[in-house]
Amino acid sequence: MHIKSKILLGLTSVSLFWGCSSSEKETAETEATKPNIVIIYMDDLGYGDLSSYGATELSTPNMDKLANGGIRFTNGYASSATCTPSRYALLTGVYPWRNADAKILPGTAPLLISTSQMTVPKMLNGQGYETGVVGKWHLGLGDGNVDWNQHISPSPNEVGFDYSYIMAATQDRVPTVYIENGNVVNLDPNDPIEVDYDKNFEGEPTGKDNPELTTMKWHHGHNNSIVNGIPRIGFMKGGEAAKWSDVDMADHFLEIAQSYVKSHKEGPFFLYYAFQQPHVPRTPNPRFVGKSGMGPRGDVILEADWMVGEFMKTLEDEGLLENTLIIFTSDNGPVLNDGYYDDAVEKLGNHTPAGALRGGKYSLFEAGTRVPFMVYWKGRIQPQVSDALVCQVDFLSSLAALTGSTDTSEDSENLLSAFMGEEKTGRSELMLEATGRTALRKGEWIMIPPYNGGAVQQSVNIEVGNDKNYQLYNLTNDIGQADNMAESNPEKLEEMIAAYTAIRGDMNSNIEDVVLK
């Protein structure tokens, strides 16, 4: 697969440059296999949230341009049903369940990726790329004892990114500040930042004790420090001048991403652009308030769609569109009420954020991990729909194959032909993770081993996939996972258990769902 794709790309570039001298030809050929690469990564965007994936109540014209002008994958997966593990797998090519620390992290967690580990940006760095990350990080920082008033290290800059402009964890977690290349932006040394996830700082108001100071009400969790009227997870003191403006966050990250593109247009560059939407707290800029009729969750999806359009315009204006491979996907499936009263449930109407899939964020059912997944390269990739089984963990090996690197990792498969639309076959099997539990997808089947714990996560009202019996679903005939065939198809079940055990070792069954409160 690898060789074929490279030859194909090589031939195209040679034929384009047939009139050049041989040394020019060589340069052109090398450049042609090293396009700029952008990964646009959404936070909690569901399989059914885009009009190109079937939404009828929301219109996402800019995301749809990528879906309809590139490859729209119908079996594209995040590695996990939550954020940190998915991001870990995307960047390292390693399944998150291999790392016991790869779970939803607090803002004070140490850097989860080892500085000696191979990563997508590190691999691309080795191929001559400039690399940058803009947006949500949520993979830990420092060594576990960060002084936010000093240079923070290790950070993204120590795992392959030449440039980083990030929020440390999530929009609902402190510290609520931007960090550029390891330094808090706009930090006033006379107003130092302190962060603690266990205890409050004396005299500081909290969402729990001072509801009169909040403009957004917490539903579960999210009752610690209040920033911009929004109660968060974790306690923070100081850093007034450095605090972000929630309603301007989308514009802010967009501006940084656009200027990154403009200042790296000589290329090749890799930009990992990690949006904060539609994760909670949902804080659309006033320009988008009320636009979806669906409350803030719908409004921030429209805001994100607009950002995608503006970002694409920048690539076009800079003359980079034909030389930029764009991947668009999401870190996990959708959730409505994820801890704040924000009308996501009340104003949903007929919208189905997960489309026809069962479950949602946190779930081992399909909606947890099957996500919008598009690959777009103007003039190079033929518009098409692909049902190839692909996963974000495969970016490392596939982008290595594209750019001529031999770097790879334990779990990352080279699916370049599928990502280029040259083949419609992807992986044969894929291990999926949700809050520590795993399930195996193989061909058209998925097997979920028995797990203790409630079937429904009450706080978010999502079916998480637990059952005391084996579950086996045929996803071709039963995309909504209504018909458990474990009993009626014992041969298939046995085959799936054997395949699962071959990858996972023990069944790792009977664990409680420990992550959510």
Binding site for ligand NG6 (CB under 6 A): 43-44, 82-83, 104, 138, 170, 172, 220-222, 233, 279-280, 332, 338-339, 517
Comparing CB distances to Ca ion, the nearer of 82 and 323 is 82
Closest distance of CB 391 from ligand NG6, Å: 17
Nearer to ligand NG6, 81 or 447 (CB): 81
State the residue number with the nearest CB to ligand NG6.
221
CB of 249: closest distance to ligand NG6 in angstroms? 15
- Residue number, 331 or 407, with CB nearest to Ca ion: 331
Six-digit token string for 269: 């560059």
The option from ligand NG6, Ca ion, none interacting with 366 (CB < 5 to 8 A, set by class) reads none
The closest of 129, 109, 118 to 37, measured between CA atoms, is 129
Least Cβ distance, residue 88 to ligand NG6 (angstroms): 11
Comparing CB distances to ligand NG6, the nearer of 122 and 361 is 361
Phi, psi (deg, nearest 5) at residue 303: -60, -45
Closer residue to ligand NG6 in complex, CB, 90/104: 104
Distance from C-alpha of 64 to C-alpha of 50, rounded to nearest angstrom: 7
Determine the residue type at 77: Y
- Could you say which of Ca ion, ligand NG6, none residue 199 binds, taking C-beta under 5 to 8 angstroms by partner kind? none
Least Å distance, CB 265 to Ca ion, is: 31
Q: How far is the CB of 182 from ligand NG6 (least distance, A)?
A: 21
**Between residues 137 and 270, which has the closer beta carbon with respect to ligand NG6?**
137
Residue 161 φ/ψ region, left for φ over 0, alpha for ψ in the -120 to 50 degree band, beta for the rest = beta
- Cβ at position 460, least distance to Ca ion in Å: 12
Least distance CB 159 / ligand NG6 (angstroms): 19
Which has the closest alpha carbon to 315: 254, 375, 373, 372? 254
Q: Which residues bind to Ca ion, rule: CB under 5 A?
A: 43-44, 83, 331-332
* Paired tokens of 139: 């993979």
- Which secondary-structure segment (H or E) carries 27? helix 22-32
DSSP secondary structure of 250-286: HHHHHHHHHHHHHHTTTS-EEEEEE--TTSSS----G
C-alpha–C-alpha distance, residues 446 and 323, integer Å: 37
Q: Output 43 or 467, the one with its CB closest to ligand NG6.
A: 43
Minimum CB separation from ligand NG6 for residue 89, in Å? Answer: 13
Cα(174)–Cα(155) distance, rounded to whole angstroms? 17
Task: Give the nearer residue to ligand NG6 in terms of CB position, either 172 or 299.
Answer: 172
Q: Output phi, psi for 324, to 5 deg.
A: -135, 125
Residue nearest to Ca ion (CB): 83
| Among 296, 287, 290, residue whose Cα is nearest residue 337 | 296
Whose Cβ is closer to ligand NG6: residue 60's or residue 330's? 330
Separation between Cα atoms, residue 243 and residue 193, nearest integer Å: 10
What would the two tokens of residue 118 be? 């191979």
| Contacts of 392 by beta carbon, 8 Å cutoff, 6+ apart | 77, 78, 79, 86, 89, 90, 329
Distance of closest approach, residue 406 Cβ to ligand NG6, in angstroms: 33
Q: Which does 170 bind (CB under 5 to 8 A by kind): ligand NG6, Ca ion, none?
A: ligand NG6
Nearer of residues 199 and 517 to ligand NG6, judged by Cβ: 517
In the complex, what is the shortest distance from the CB of residue 141 to Ca ion, in angstroms, rounded to a whole number?
Answer: 18
Residues 67-106 as b or e (16 or more Cβ within 10 Å = b): bbbbbbbebbbbbbbbbbbbbbbbbbbbbbbebeebbbbb
CA dihedral 346, 251, 83, 296 (to 10 degrees): 0
Q: Would you call the peptide bond into 281 cis, given omega within 30 degrees of 0 as the criterion?
A: yes
